[in-house]
Amino acid sequence: MTDLVLVALATIVAVMLRGNFDTLSDTLTNLTPYTLISVGCASVVFIAAGLDRTPWKYSSVADHLQVIVLTTLAMLLALVLTFALNRLEPVARSLPVFQGGLIISFLIGARSAARFWHTRRIHNNNGKDQINEQPHETVLVVGVNSVAELFLLSAKEFGSQRVQVAGILAEESHMRGRTIQQNPVLGTVVELPDILQSLEVHGVAVDSIVVAIAADRLQPRSLASLIDVEKSSDIVVQFLSERLGFEGSQMPSVLADKKGDSVPGQKAVARVGRLIDVGRTDSARRSFQHGKRIVDVIAAAVSIVMLAPLALLITFVVAFDVGFPVIFWQQRPGLYGRPFKLFKFRTMRAPHDKKRRRIADAQRSSVVGQILRRIRLDELPQLYNVLVGDMSLIGPRPLLPRDQAPDYAARLSVRPGITGWAQVNGGRIISTSDKLMLDVWYVQNASLLLDLTIILRTVKMILVGDRINIEAVNQARSGLGLKTLLRTKLVPAE
């Protein structure tokens, strides 16, 4: 119902922006049929497609893409029906364009605002100055049955802040692509090594595998695949049947011997590193971050609307060049080490061929992808990350978990950014250690003037390419940014 109200409101605003205010009342009267038809078409299309089934506070990029597609379809249907009624005589040619753009902006803006406030409330409930000491754990679930479904429901209800389900593995190949409790079936247990590599491409490192099938009921090849992964990695394999205390389903000895060697989640803590409490008691710094967040939301919202035509063009180019999906995501540690999904336009082809063999990165890259990366247009979807609070416009670039060195975890005390001090002083051509030191220096010296400097240098970087600023690198190397490491305490990341 709220969506329809926003559709009607957007239509009225479009008429006001397009029409003459002296004859506004007459214009609204003449466009009443078109407005009613627009709302009616939107109600039919939105309800038929299930747009109202996802609560706004849980909306995602996929939901926002759905809004764009359904709004376009509803507007086309409204134009056809209005043409059949009065041949579009009172409707200006530019009105549907204004109307469609405003409807999309209103619907996506409302959903983004709802998600932002929901996320902020959760963070406030957890405490702004405290981090959950329980480690974050990523799991794969083996089995497509009622036991697996019960585990998924339990993880969602009791461990939503601590346990992330990366996906489900089945023993039957025909289950691939289906979902259970909104979690995708990634493939079969036999394909486990390839699936782990694919997840690694997205920045997802699995800590444990929860098996919802008794060991003696697994196919021999499936059991062998689990044993191989357990022996060759730090991943812990847990059988629910044994955890629940049922006899007759004992784990193979090779698994049982290793079970006590690792604690689920320890690898996640080691991989993400430790968070350093930097300047949280500094009221000036906290005020700066709050003000910066307001600027981020406004700038991201305006940029999304203004750059929508460019993003749509890039979407078609990427779809033609590397195929679907056009959006690529990776899991990265964000503020205080909390994991989030970072979005980009795809610039590389699939990592595996039709026979599921790994393809070298050099063969996956395309000329179009290289151009998009060179001028940073592949980063446009991260405006959404900024809007919902995962990122900032300016800040340390989010790294893959395995690249986040514990000694430089101070960079996790602020939101990661689309561009940052390390990017404008060397970017991709300086060493990782220098990037980390530059990021820590930025955290310690963050200010409005420094952010404006980064914005100007980012424009220069896009135009002329990456250039190393030896003075800035030496300043960071001198230890100015590492003083924080000596006077702050370590606390575990969430």
Q: What is the pLDDT of residues 204-263, one digit of tens each?
A: 889 899 999 888 888 888 888 998 898 888 898 988 887 777 754 444 544 544 444 443
Q: Burial of 189 by CB count in 10 Å (0-12 exposed, 13-18 middle, 19+ buried)?
A: buried
Q: What is the dihedral of CA 189, 194, 200, 206, to 10 degrees?
A: 20
Is it the case that residue 274 has pLDDT exceeding 50? no
Q: Which has the minimum average pLDDT: 24-33, 227-236, 452-461?
A: 24-33
Per-residue pLDDT of 41-51, as tens digits, reads: 888 888 887 77
Q: Burial of 321 by CB count in 10 Å (0-12 exposed, 13-18 middle, 19+ buried)?
A: middle
At residue 401's C-alpha, the angle toward residues 398 and 407, to 5°, is 85
Beta bridge partners, 188, equal: 170
CATH number corresponding to 137-270 = 3.40.50.720
Peptide bond connecting 33 to the previous residue in cis, omega within 30 degrees of 0:
no
Q: Tokens for 32, please give them.
A: 């009443």
Q: Which one, of 215, 189, 220, 395, lies nearest residue 292 by Cα?
A: 395
Average pLDDT over residues 105-109: 89
CB 447 within 8 A of CB 288: yes
Average pLDDT in the chain? 79
Amino acid present at 277: D
Is it the case that residue 5 has pLDDT exceeding 90? no
According to CATH, where is 3.40.50.720 located in the chain? Answer: 137-270
The CA distance from 478 to 81, in Å, is 70
Is it the case that residue 407 has pLDDT exceeding 60? yes
More confident position, 347 or 276 = 347
The pLDDT value recorded for residue 132 is 45
Q: Which one, of 373, 465, 459, lies nearest residue 427 by Cα?
A: 465
The pLDDT value recorded for residue 100 is 86
The CA distance from 176 to 189, in Å, is 11
Per-residue pLDDT of 199-209, as tens digits, reads: 888 888 898 99
At residue 416's C-alpha, the angle toward residues 412 and 418, to 5°, is 160
Q: Which has the minimum average pLDDT: 129-143, 156-170, 400-414?
A: 129-143
